[in-house]
Amino acid sequence: MKYLCTCLVILLLVGCDAKDRCLDDGGRYDEASKQCVYE
């Protein structure tokens, strides 16, 4: 939940749940394609 504050804002734009899960999983969230990228 490190990104909770950002999430409250992003929630309206992207849906922070997916992003938060992605980052927690060690992935990188690509804003452009709205996809989680694992490197």
Residue 17 pLDDT: 73
Q: How many CB atoms lie within 10 A of CB 29?
A: 19
Residue 11 pLDDT: 54
| Backbone phi and psi for residue 6, each to the nearest 5 degrees, phi listed first | -65, -40
Query: Using one digit for the tens of pLDDT, what is the confidence trace for 4-36?
Result: 556 556 555 555 677 888 888 888 888 888 888
Residue 5 pLDDT: 54
Residue 36 pLDDT: 84
| Backbone phi and psi for residue 12, each to the nearest 5 degrees, phi listed first | -70, -30
Residue 8 pLDDT: 57
Residue 30 pLDDT: 87
Instruction: Tell me the two tokens of residue 10.
Output: 């992003």
